[in-house]
Amino acid sequence: MNEAVQERPAAAEPAPRPLYPGAAPPQPPKPLPQLLAYMFAAAVIGLTQGLGMSFISVTIQQIAGPLKATTAEASWLMAAYLAPNACLTLMLFKMRQQFGIRRFAEVSIVLFVLINLAHLWVDSFQTALIVRFFAGIAAAPMSSISILYMLEGLSRERKMNIGLSSAMTVMLISTPLAGVIAPYLFNHGGFKSLYIFEIGMAMLSLALIFRLPLVSGERVKVISRYDLISFGFLAFGMGAITVVLSLGRIYWWTEVSWTGALLIAGVASLTVMAIIELNRDDPLLDIRWLTSAEIIHFTGALMIFRLILAEQSTGVRSFFIMLGLSNEQFVGLYGIILIATLAAGMTCAMVLKPGRVAYMHGAALVLLIIGSLLDSQATVLTRPRDMFLSQTLIAFASGLFMPPAMMIGFIAALKRGPNYILSFIIVFLTTQRLGAILGSALFGSFVTWREQVHSAALVQSLPADSPLVSERIGQLAGAYAPTITDSVIRSAEGAALLAQQVTRQAYVLAYNDAFRFTSLLALLALVILILDVLFEKWESARLRAKAEGLPA
């Protein structure tokens, strides 16, 4: 007798798990129109955050006047913005785990809009300082929200190339874009027009976030009392170090005592935080992993690259300002940098794969070496158009380096487990923000030191009794002949003009030294990269031979 065979129902496949606790579960790729809408939202949100910071950095001299502040005092606006912004990513990551990504994004953008609206009432340096501090707090979530929107609609395999490349490109283009549009805004409404533009971008971001909500995962209670204690020490330590790095070069490191005291307090605060975290079962940060050889290697590579990029972000601009150029004359240069960065981002999106990271980093370092060497030939007659080629190479190198670096670190964190993603994000964003500030501080300090060396050498080569010096002073003094009849005063004015020319020439030589040093640093990084790749290949061959029982 044939028995009917009853088919057993197939076991239901387990639902895909989120990448880390509190993250949204994996979603199918979105249709192309919706995907493009989310990527547009990511670009707008990222630029809203980036432009808010970059507007101040590229117009610091122009903003100081209307606020009745010196340039040194106006620099506090950057420090006030960056001090809270540099450390808040840590708690924000846990906040979005605990309260949900969607609510986190909506509340964050509402606060961001309200803080930006407060800029309309800024009428003094003191009020601007307070508002910029809270703007730094409100802007902290925007970069991570931008990355989430950029990754939202992509398939998992596309998140690592198209997603990360696009997100990093948006972050990198903020400064050149600010350099292109800030002069026009400032000339048609002063510094208030910059704030109005920021408010408009913030309102557009608000509309996009509410119209295109992020998919939320399940909420996980991850914030504890000890997290808040550790974060308090971290916030003070990071804020103190950020202020010192932002302002130490301007007030000069050894000329004022408060920089040293603040630096000691910041380091002590971070030490206390590390001691607390090392003795916790569920630490806010895994200090042991962060101090492992793998992460130190990764962090060192990022920091060195940020120091090298100070040549473009700080060096070239300050070089032309020293020569007396205005923001309007930088527009073409910033436009070239913007186009090169976008081209690098598209290149990364097409070719980025884990096995190609070392080659992409090597190509980026070669471009940096060439670009820096070209810049080191500058003279007092150099103008922005003379650096179009070199800055194109450096901008392309920057866009070529960052996405692979983030991808390789992200993969390393995933291999250790989802809980390590938080620590990796902190390492990456901290090295980018603090690395940029440190690079600017070191570059500017190096230029100041070399200027003093070159000034002393030039003065020694121009003795006062030299006929050539007397002739040059006479030529310069001749410009005052129609207005100054006293020959002694006229000669003194000519000597003052000669001193100014000597100082300007010393600065040009100092910047050339800095550009050459940048190229040497990039060359050193390239050599280390090559040795690292060769060692990895040798180690891989040795292990393979050992597994096959062959002699190594």
| Helices assigned H by DSSP within 70-124 | 71-85, 89-99, 101-118
Same domain, 277 and 348: no
CATH of residue 200's domain is 1.20.1250.20
User: For the chain, what is the domain count?
Assistant: 3
Quick check: is 347 in a domain?
A: yes
| Rounded Cα distance, 280 and 287, in Å | 11
Cα dist. 466→287, 409, 461, 477 in Å?
A: 63, 61, 10, 17
DSSP for 274-342 reads: HHHHHT-SS-SS-HHHHTSHHHHHHHHHHHHHHHHHHIIIIIIHHHHHHTT--GGGGHHHHHHHHHHHH
Closest CA to 265 of 238, 237, 231, 245: 237
CB 384 within 8 Å of CB 329: yes
pLDDT tens, residue by residue, 487-505: 666 667 667 776 777 788 8
| Rounded Cα distance, 103 and 95, in Å | 10
Same domain, 206 and 244: no
| Rounded Cα distance, 426 and 290, in Å | 10
Residue numbers of the domain that contains 253: 225-281
Quick check: is 175 in a domain?
A: yes
Q: Is a pLDDT exceeding 70 seen at residue 307? A: yes
Same domain, 229 and 340: no
| Rounded Cα distance, 499 and 8, in Å | 94
Q: 3-class DSSP state for residue 380?
A: coil
| Rounded Cα distance, 490 and 483, in Å | 9
The domain boundary, picked from 281, 303, 320, lies at 281
pLDDT tens, residue by residue, 524-535: 888 888 888 888
**In the predicted model, what is the mean pLDDT of the chain?**
77
Among 7-21, 162-176, 418-432, whose mean pLDDT is lowest? 7-21
Contacts 24+ apart (CB under 8 A), 521-526: 521/304, 521/307, 521/308, 522/308, 522/365, 522/368, 522/369, 522/372, 523/365, 523/369, 525/301, 525/304, 525/305, 525/308, 525/365, 526/362, 526/365, 526/366, 526/369
Same domain, 267 and 296: no
Q: Is a pLDDT exceeding 70 seen at residue 185? A: yes
Cα dist. 325→108, 314, 496 in Å?
A: 39, 15, 21
Cα dist. 264→85, 231, 251 in Å?
A: 21, 18, 17
Q: Is a pLDDT exceeding 80 seen at residue 286? A: no
pLDDT tens, residue by residue, 103-119: 777 777 788 788 878 77
| Rounded Cα distance, 24 and 219, in Å | 10
Same domain, 143 and 91: yes
Confidence of residue 86 (pLDDT cuts 50, 70, 90): low
Q: Is a pLDDT exceeding 80 seen at residue 287? A: no
Residue 67: per-residue pLDDT = 72
Quick check: is 300 in a domain?
A: yes
* Neighbour tally for 409: CB within 10 Å: 22
Same domain, 368 and 418: yes
Residue 220: per-residue pLDDT = 63
Q: Is a pLDDT exceeding 70 seen at residue 216? A: no
Cα dist. 376→140, 176, 325 in Å?
A: 36, 21, 19
Tokens coding 98: 């605990």
Quick check: is 475 in a domain?
A: no
| Rounded Cα distance, 448 and 341, in Å | 29
pLDDT tens, residue by residue, 9-53: 444 445 555 555 555 556 667 777 888 888 888 888 888 888 877
What count of Cα atoms within 13 Å lies in the side-chain half-sphere of residue 208? Answer: 25
| More confident of the two residues 82 and 423 | 82
pTM given for the model: 0.82
Q: Is a pLDDT exceeding 50 seen at residue 342? A: yes
